């Protein structure tokens, strides 16, 4: 491991790797990425791989749209097949309030070039044979959303960044961040120290903990989010299905498995990553209600990861005011993976060429309490 | 040409593990994810030990795996409808 670097990125998840990937492709590779476990250890290896452009705020829609474009190139660029399948996303509303929210969202999405349509239950059942239409009041469908396999996206970005000179140190824990005269001086790890003037905090569920090591406070909190996967089945389900009434989502992966999870309003903030029987029951009830034919499908495995949640559902991006050289790229809740290519590319251009972007103004670390960002409401789980 | 099977569910062979190791996947968790062993119908009941022995053989030492992958529920593949009853299990935790 080197003892000096221009930039140290804390977190070898998709956000940190995407930054390293785009920075190194732009010719800047004096970077060390620190990962406490193996690649895919955190939420980047534990999510359902959904990539949707259906959001309630313009920024998320634009970032997601850009990410879809970049994900479509990623396999070619990295040599790793990420199994990106654009089978669409189908949202179901079961009450008048969420139905009208869907309709407002669709209008906003259309104005930004995302071809989402409000469709009736009959059309939804044509797209998803076997879908139970009872109590569904409105559906929104965008055929250009999709799902991918997160692991090869992580490996592909990591391998390319390494080939371009980035050091990615796995099984390396962050122990301390030294700050001198109000600016970053060095990071101390379980395998030695690295002198640096810039540190990016891309630690996902661990972000607030990392910030404390530099003497900064972040409002992010980690929440366990559980997910399960079924036995592989012949392809029969094109879109990701999302039920707004309880936050259930599931899709069919390219391996044929049904993979999904749901919201749990009673989940407290914690670093608990155990699997629960409560989730298994709630998820099986919800998915068999949405699609009764799934009752006979065997569940193989369940696991959990962390959502890194902020008070307004938006990420935290840019330099901290308290410590010079300490830069935040965290707070992505349950949708960091799908936005990662856009965040990495925009972030790389901002870091390297000082290309301004509105997201660094709107989602600045010090916005809370004074410049609130519009809340993203279309959040599942 | 013969091949040695490590994981029957996902058809992972010894040479798949060797190839993954050469590609830079040097710990059991990464080998598992890169090759897919232990992610099939039996959820690793047979293959995990074979893969751990493969890794120990390359890396030396008598500690086969210091930190083995967590065994995740379910123990057996079970139809979703079996869990879809009204009782939520009281929020008990498995690990």
Q: Which residues of B touch A155 (CB under 8 A)?
A: 34
Residues of A with Cβ-Cβ distance to B10 under 8 angstroms: none
> Above 60 in pLDDT, residue B95?
no
Residue of A150, A259, A298 to mutate, interface with B, max B Cβ within 10 Å? A298
Chain-chain contact of A287 with B78 (C-beta, under 8 angstroms): no
Instruction: Identify the closest residue of chain B to A37 by CA–CA distance.
Output: B29
Q: Looking at beta carbons, which residues of chain B come within 8 Å of A171? A: 27
What chain A holds in terms of domains, given with CATH numbers, is 1-85+145-220+311-381 (3.50.50.60), 86-144+221-309 (3.30.9.10)
pLDDT tier for residue A17 given thresholds of 50, 70 and 90:
very high
Q: Which residues of B touch A287 (CB under 8 A)?
A: 80
With cut-offs at 50, 70 and 90, classify the pLDDT of residue B62: low
pLDDT digits (tens, 9 = 90+) for A229-280: 999 999 999 999 999 999 999 999 999 999 999 999 999 999 999 999 999 9
Interface of A with B (CB under 8 A): 37-41, 45, 151, 155, 159, 170-171, 230-231, 272, 274-278, 280-282, 284-285, 287-288, 294-303
B contacts of A40 (beta carbons < 8 Å): 29-30, 33
- Please determine, for residue B90, whether its predicted confidence score (pLDDT) is greater than 60: no
Which candidate from A38, A159, A276 shows the least CB-CB separation from B91? A276
Q: Which residue of B has its CA nearest to A158?
A: B24
pLDDT in tens, A323-332: 999 999 999 9
Task: Using the predicted structure, report yes or no on whether residue A288 has a pLDDT greater than 60.
Answer: yes
Q: Region A116-138: what's the mean pLDDT? A: 96
Mean pLDDT of A20-35: 98
Is residue B86's pLDDT more than 80? no
Nearest CA in chain B to A292: B81
Domain B5-69 CATH assignment equals 1.10.10.1100? yes
Band of residue B87 on the pLDDT scale cut at 50, 70, 90: low
Q: Please tell me the pTM assigned to this model.
A: 0.96
Confidence of residue A79 (pLDDT cuts 50, 70, 90): very high
Contact state of B79 with A38 under an 8 Å Cβ cutoff: no
Distance between CA A235 and CA A231 in Å, rounded?
12
Task: Check whether A90 has a pLDDT greater than 80.
Answer: yes
Facing B94 at nearest CB: one of A170, A274, A299: A274
* Confidence label for A45 from pLDDT (cuts 50, 70 and 90): very high
pLDDT confidence bin for B1, thresholds 50/70/90: low
Cβ–Cβ below 8 Å for A300 and B41:
yes
Full 3-state SS string of chain A: CCCECCEEEECCCHHHHHHHHHHHHCCCCCEEEECCCCCCCCHHHCCCCEECCCCCCHHHHHHHHHHHHHHHHHHHHHCCCCCCECCCEEEEECCHHHHHHHHHHHHHHHHCCCCCEEECHHHHHHHCCCCCCCCCCEEEEECCCEECCHHHHHHHHHHHHHHCCCEEECCCCEEEEEEECCEEEEEEECCEEEECCCEEECCHHHHHHHHHHCCCCCCCEEEEEEEEEECCCCCCCCCEEEECCCCEEEEECCCCCEEEECCCCCCCECCCCCCEHHHHHHHHHHHHHHCHHHHHCEEEEEEEEEEEECCCCCCEEEECCCCECEEEEECCECCHHHHHHHHHHHHHHHHHHCCCCHHHHHCCCCCCCCCCCCCCCCCCC
Is the model's pLDDT at A359 over the cut of 90? yes
A34-39: average pLDDT: 97
Return the number of other C-beta atoms located less than 10 Å from residue A234's C-beta. 6
Chain B residues near residue A297 by CB distance under 8 angstroms: 79-80
Say if the Cβ atoms of B92 and A278 lie within 8 Å. Answer: yes
**What is the least distance, in Å, from the CA of A328 to any CA of chain B?**
28
Question: Is residue B88 predicted with pLDDT exceeding 60?
Answer: no
Task: List the domain boundaries for chain B.
Answer: 5-69
A171, A275, A288 ranked by CB distance to B80: nearest:
A288
B87 → chain A, closest CA residue:
A281
Q: Do A298 and B78 touch (CB under 8 A)?
A: yes
> Looking at A82-91, A179-188, A367-376, B59-68, which range is the least confident one?
B59-68
Nearest to A280 among B24, B30, B83 (CB): B83
Work out the minimum CA distance from A248 to partner chain B, whole angstroms: 14
Count interface pairs A-B at CB distance under 8 A: 100
Q: Which of B33, B39, B94 sits opposite A277 (nearest CB)?
A: B94
For residue B34, the distance in angstroms to the closest alpha carbon of chain A comes to 8
pLDDT of A147 higher than 90: yes
Average model confidence (pLDDT) across chain B: 86
Under the banding of pLDDT at 50, 70 and 90, the label for residue A285 is very high
Cβ of A171 and B74 within 8 Å? no
């Amino acid at each position: 491991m080197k003892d000096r670097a221009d930039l140290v990125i804390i977190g070898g998840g998709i956000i940190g790797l995407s930054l390293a990937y785009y920075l190194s492709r732009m010719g800047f590779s004096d970077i060390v990425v620190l990962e406490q476990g193996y690649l895919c250890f955190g939420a980047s290896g534990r999510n359902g791989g959904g990539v949707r452009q259906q959001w309630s705020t313009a920024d998320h829609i634009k970032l997601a749209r850009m990410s879809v474009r970049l994900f479509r190139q990623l396999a070619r660029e990295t040599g790793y097949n990420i199994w990106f399948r654009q089978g669409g996303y189908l949202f179901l509303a079961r009450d008048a309030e969420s139905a009208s929210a869907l309709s407002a969202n669709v209008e906003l999405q259309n104005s930004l070039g995302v071809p989402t349509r409000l469709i009736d239950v009959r059309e939804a059942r044509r797209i998803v044979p076997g879908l139970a239409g009872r109590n569904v009041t409105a559906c929104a469908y965008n055929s250009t959303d999709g799902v991918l396999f997160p692991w090869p996206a992580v490996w592909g970005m990591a391998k390319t960044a390494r080939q371009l000179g980035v050091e990615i140190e796995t099984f390396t824990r962050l122990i301390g961040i030294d700050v001198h005269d109000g600016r970053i001086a060095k990071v101390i790890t379980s395998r030695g120290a690295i002198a640096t003037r810039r540190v990016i905090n891309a630690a996902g569920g661990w972000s607030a903990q990392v910030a404390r090591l530099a003497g900064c406070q972040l409002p992010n909190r980690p929440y366990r989010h559980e997910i399960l996967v079924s036995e592989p089945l012949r392809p029969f389900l094109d879109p990701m299905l999302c039920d707004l009434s309880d936050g259930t989502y599931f899709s069919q992966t390219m391996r044929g498995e049904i993979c999904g999870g749901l919201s749990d309003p009673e989940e407290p903030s914690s670093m608990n990553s155990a699997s629960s029987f409560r989730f298994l029951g709630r998820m099986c009830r919800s998915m068999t209600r949405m699609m009764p034919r799934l009752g006979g499908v065997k569940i193989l495995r369940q696991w959990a990861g962390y959502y890194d949640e902020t008070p307004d559902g938006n990420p935290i991006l840019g330099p901290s005011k308290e410590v010079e050289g300490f830069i935040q790229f965290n707070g992505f809740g349950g949708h960091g993976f799908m936005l990662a290519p856009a965040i990495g590319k925009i972030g790389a251009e901002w870091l390297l060429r000082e290309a301004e972007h509105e997201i660094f103004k709107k989602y600045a670390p010090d916005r809370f309490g004074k410049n609130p960002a519009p809340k993203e409401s279309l959040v599942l789980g | 040409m013969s091949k040695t099977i490590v994981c029957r569910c996902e058809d992972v062979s010894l040479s798949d593990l060797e190839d993954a190791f050469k590609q830079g996947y040097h710990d059991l968790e990464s080998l598992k994810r890169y090759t897919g062993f232990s992610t099939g119908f039996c959820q690793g009941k047979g293959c995990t030990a074979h893969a751990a022995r493969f890794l120990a053989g390359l890396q030396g030492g008598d500690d086969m795996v210091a930190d083995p992958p967590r065994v995740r529920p379910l123990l057996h593949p079970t139809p979703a409808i079996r869990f879809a009853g009204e009782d939520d299990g009281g929020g008990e935790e498995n690990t």
